[in-house]
A and B are shown apart, each in its own frame.
Chain A
């Protein structure tokens, strides 16, 4: 398994 990043789910504002 690999670690995903929050930026894969949420966009920068």
Chain B
């Protein structure tokens, strides 16, 4: 049997909203350590890797390792029925072909239960090595979302240039061109508003802005986003999920013909 309970069910709903534009179905790997998921988009340009550690759940029980094929589209629809302060329990009974989502209102007066059929999915996994990136930009996730949205107006691609002083996002297309430069924060009251850059080497990489905008669907999970970059290496875009884990998106760069 598998059972995991989250007092703040809305966190799980935000995780699903963060994934479901990039991948519509995925296999969840459940073990005693927690829940992990790795899935690529259909064109093999982007990948998402999710980790939710067991100690981040209010209660967590996983008697044996399980691979659960789940339609994220359907799960998202079910989770929309959850109240914003509801407690969420995810359960898979032994020898069951369904996942049960139970939602309980804070005053314990309302209790809803939905079942979703599990799917048999073929999943391809990539081995992603630990990487020492040349540059890690940390910035407010709302700012990153706004910049990606704005850049998409100008063109299909965004070039991210990072130096020790700042990071510049630039796009050009048929309508014109533009760029936004952020300097490293020197003095901020709140850490979550800061832009900080750890840099070993300056980098300039170009990415399809459409994918960056899909990654930004996970921005409500975290005040800050980390962008880890090295030349000729996929971008890693990370949002923390409270102190229980993270969503990491990987995106292959655009390269010269």
Of B55-63, B120-128, B238-246, the one touching chain A: B120-128
How many contacting A-B pairs (Cβ < 8 A)?
A: 53
Contacts of A9 in B (CB 8 A): 233-234, 252
B175 within 8 Å of A by Cβ?
A: no
Query: Measured between C-beta atoms, what is the minimum distance from A3 to chain B in Å?
Result: 5
Interface string of A1-13 (1 = CB under 8 A from B): 1111111111111
Say yes or no: A2 contacts B254, CB within 8 Å. Answer: yes
B64 within 8 Å of A by Cβ?
A: no
Contacts of B256 in A (CB 8 A): 1-2
Contacts of A13 in B (CB 8 A): 125-127
Say yes or no: A8 contacts B252, CB within 8 Å. Answer: yes
Size of the B side of the interface (Cβ < 8 Å), in residues, is 24
In the bound complex, CA of A6 to CA of B44 (Å)? 6
Interface of B, secondary structure class, is loop
Query: Which of B40, B129, B206, B254 contacts A6, CB < 8 Å?
Result: B40
Query: Which of B47, B127, B257 contacts A2, CB < 8 Å?
Result: B257
- In this complex, the member of A2, A8, A9 whose beta carbon has the largest number of chain B beta carbons within 10 angstroms is A9
Say yes or no: A10 contacts B128, CB within 8 Å. Answer: yes
Say yes or no: B250 contacts A6, CB within 8 Å. Answer: yes
Contacts of A4 in B (CB 8 A): 45, 252-255
Residue of A nearest to B47 (CB): A6
Chain B, 222-245, CB within 8 A of any chain A CB: 233-234
Contacts of B125 in A (CB 8 A): 12-13
Query: Measured between C-beta atoms, what is the minimum distance from A10 to chain B in Å?
Result: 4
Given contacts A3-B45, A9-B233, A12-B127, 13 further A-B contacts (CB under 8 A): A1-B254, A1-B257, A4-B45, A4-B253, A4-B255, A5-B44, A6-B46, A6-B47, A6-B234, A7-B126, A10-B128, A10-B250, A11-B127
Residues of B within 8 A of A (CB): 40, 43-47, 124-129, 157, 206, 208, 233-234, 250, 252-257
28 inter-chain pairs at a CB distance below 8 angstroms, sorted by A residue, are: A1-B157, A1-B257, A2-B255, A3-B208, A3-B254, A4-B252, A4-B253, A4-B254, A5-B45, A6-B40, A6-B44, A6-B45, A6-B47, A6-B126, A6-B234, A6-B252, A7-B44, A9-B233, A9-B234, A10-B127, A10-B128, A10-B129, A10-B250, A11-B127, A12-B126, A13-B125, A13-B126, A13-B127
